Amino acid sequence: MENRRGGKEKTVIISCKNVTFAYDGFVVASRLNFDVARGDYLCVVGENGAGKSTLIKGLLGLKLPQSGSITFGSGLTLRHIGYLPQQTAAQKDFPASAYEVVLSGRLEMKAGRLFYSREDKNAAVENMRRLGIADLRGKCYRDLSGGQQQRVLLARALCATSEVIILDEPAAGLDPLAASEMYALIARLNNEGITIIMVSHDIAASTRYAKHVLHLANKQLFWGDTAAYKLSNVGFM
């Protein structure tokens, strides 16, 4: 197992120490140790079933680790993590406007609220503008292309956070052009200061922008910066 600490000292906002996840006693990811700093771009790679999705669930607080600890630092709370899940089949033909979908990202910004304020609506419009989809506002979600749908979901994730976004296979099902646009867009958000944690099995494409790589195969094969990853025997292709 290689484990190199990469880069300069930065504020650690998520820290995993000896984290093990298991389903019904069957371990899917064991002894994970890594930190995510503010402004980081961490790419989690590995084969299907390597424990990537489970780790995401763990970071989102949907799955408790069997052992070890996940801690959030410097004011980050679970409620303020944005999430871009994989699309479900039911979603692809969902009759909702892009605006309704984006706005729903604001729902849990404050606890115990049932309706949206003017501020929420402005934030939704602003985030759509930020991703260049302001003109899709009234369009029906099911009529959008795959790339546009992903942008809408990304705008929703931005509505839920100003700090961290966790993305699960953001380019799944997109054609190569839309996929590379999606990666570029994510990199731009990262340059604007948003911490990115992205899961992907497309190693070559996703490590192009990532600052750090975490390679899983039910255990931690590598964690460190991208340049070191490309030189290591884990990342060598």
Residues near other proteins, by CB under 8 A: 60-62, 78-79, 81-83, 85, 88, 90-91, 94-97, 100-101, 104-105, 107-108, 111, 114-116, 138-140, 143, 153, 156-157, 160, 166
Residue 101 Cβ, how far from other proteins at the closest point, in Å?
6
Concatenated DSSP letters of 93-130 = T---BHHHHHHGGGTTSSTT--S--HHHHHHHHHHHHH
Measured from the CB atom, is 99 or 222 closer to other proteins? 99
SS3 content of the chain, % helix, strand, coil (to 5): 35, 30, 35
Residue 31 Cβ, how far from other proteins at the closest point, in Å?
24
| Axis crossing angle, helix 118-130 with helix 146-159, rounded to the nearest 10 | 140
Residue 162 Cβ, how far from other proteins at the closest point, in Å?
14
Residue 84: count other Cβ atoms within 10 Å of its Cβ. 23
Measured from the CB atom, is 100 or 126 closer to other proteins? 100
Q: Are 87 and 25 in contact (CB under 8 A)?
A: no
Helix (H/G/I), strand (E/B), else coil: 183: helix
Residue 149: count other Cβ atoms within 10 Å of its Cβ. 23
Residue 224 Cβ, how far from other proteins at the closest point, in Å?
27
Measured from the CB atom, is 4 or 142 closer to other proteins? 142
Residue 217 Cβ, how far from other proteins at the closest point, in Å?
24
Measured from the CB atom, is 6 or 85 closer to other proteins? 85
Measured from the CB atom, is 64 or 111 closer to other proteins? 111
